[in-house]
Amino acid sequence: MTSINISIKKEAYEFLKNLKTKEKSFSEVILSFKNEHKDIMRFFGVLKSIDWGEKEKNMQHFRDSFNKRLG
């Protein structure tokens, strides 16, 4: 394994240090973000076929109805 030294801000170091455990190295903590990013990518574009104008109209109708009931 090749080691490379990097420089990061103290805030970034503290963030990583809080995620690190005895069993996990800093490298493993950083690489876990890579895996999480891939998991999130599968959701990209899922909502593109939704008619957001219609959704907004429905929400406005719901809000109006709710406000009427509150009086």
Burial 26-59 (b: 16+ CB within 10 A, else e): eeebeeeeeeeeeeeeeeeeeeeeeeeeeeeeee
Looking at residue 71, its pLDDT comes to 76
pLDDT value of position 42: 75
pLDDT tens, position by position, 32-60? 888 776 666 777 888 888 899 999 999 99
Residue 64: what pLDDT?
A: 94
pTM beyond 0.85: the answer is no
For the stretch 11-40, pLDDT in tens is 999 999 999 999 999 999 998 888 776 666
Residue boundaries of the structural domains of the chain: 9-45
